[in-house]
Amino acid sequence: MYGNVPSNELQIYTWQDATLHELTSLVRDVNPDTRKKGTYFDFAIVFPNFRNNHYQMREIGVTCTGQKGADDTKTLAQAKFCIGDFLDISITPPNRLPPIRRQRPY
């Protein structure tokens, strides 16, 4: 299972003061399909839970291409992102409703 990652995985090296808007821009730079106005980016932090020996996920915000939102200026530090955590971004194309609740197996 180690090394088995999705083909569209993107690795980003960033700082704690990076905002969700800045991270959205990085994704848009490398993935042209996400540049369409109305594309939603739903951010979550995935982190290890050492007590239960599994990973947990906590949603931290949503951005949208072409619209200003309340979460645009939220930084990873404000979201309590720790070194070693993963950032999960669910991308929803325009003209589709963004997911109300994620159904992820973490």
Backbone Cα Rg of the chain = 14
Tens of pLDDT, residue by residue over 71-91, are 999 999 999 999 989 999 999
What pLDDT shows up at residue 97?
66
- The confidence score (pLDDT) of residue 6 equals 74
Read off the pLDDT band of 106 (50, 70, 90): very low
Q: What is the reported pTM?
A: 0.83
Query: How does pLDDT run across 14-72, given as a tens digit for each residue?
Result: 899 999 999 999 999 999 889 999 999 999 999 999 898 999 999 999 999 999 999 99
Query: Which long-range contacts (C-beta less than 8 Å, at least 24 apart) are formed by 53-62?
Result: 54/106, 55/106, 56/106, 57/88, 57/102, 57/104, 57/106, 59/102, 60/20, 61/20, 62/98
